[in-house]
Amino acid sequence: MKIEKQINSSYSRLLLFFAGWSASPESFTGLKAENGTDIMLCYDYRDMTFHEDLSSYKEIHLIAWSMGVRMAELALAGKHALTTATAINGTPRPIDDNFGIPENIFRGTLDNLTAEGMKRFNRRMCGSRDILAQYEEFPARPLEEVKDELQHIYNLCNGQSITNADDTTSIQWTRAIISSDDHIFPVANQRNYWNGRCLITEITAPHYPFYLWKQWNEL
């Protein structure tokens, strides 16, 4: 994966952010944390290698969005003690008819990933023309690159479906944020997964909710 250090000042506190599929780092320039916090952004999951040494941090606050929820589990896999772990509009079972994106929908996106298909996905992700216009101001990653990334995610996650909500994960999630207007990860499936597992906060927003960062971020 690619890792961008937005703030790298050797502070004792880290906001470790795992982005969703196809996202460019510029899409998250609005991420803010209190003074004394480094910010590290992970994206592009064609390679799941995570070699960053986080041992100097006294606090590590993980925030993972969409496909980044499962990618964080695969990359970190208990390697680092987390102070908090927040999942936004995603679950550890991203391809799942009951707890994630139904497989036929995920497969349809992968099989029809043209330039026009990417535009349709972004429209669903952003939910409104205004938010889409803001999102489209960020530079887009090459189509073949994000298609390869989605195929890699499919290879990693397909076949890991669960039949009930009693599975274990490699991260102890402390909070799940669910957008009421999410048209990528079905809201009902997110609720199915997170109910009884951790604190759930529901917000009025589309799948891409980062224009509301200051309203629900607690860091």
Q: What is the pLDDT of residue 215?
A: 62
Q: Is the pTM of this model over 0.85?
A: yes
122 or 211: which leads in pLDDT: 122
Q: What is the pLDDT of residue 160?
A: 58
Q: What is the pLDDT of residue 167?
A: 55
Q: What is the pLDDT of residue 162?
A: 44
Q: Is the pLDDT of residue 188 over 70?
A: yes
For the segment 52-65, the average pLDDT, to the nearest whole number, is: 96
For the segment 92-99, the average pLDDT, to the nearest whole number, is: 96
Q: Is the pLDDT of residue 54 over 90?
A: yes
Closest CA to 48 of 16, 1, 92, 4: 1
Average pLDDT, the chain: 92
Q: Is the pLDDT of residue 165 over 50?
A: no
Q: What is the pLDDT of residue 30?
A: 80
For residues 217 and 57, what is the distance between their CA atoms, to the nearest angstrom?
20
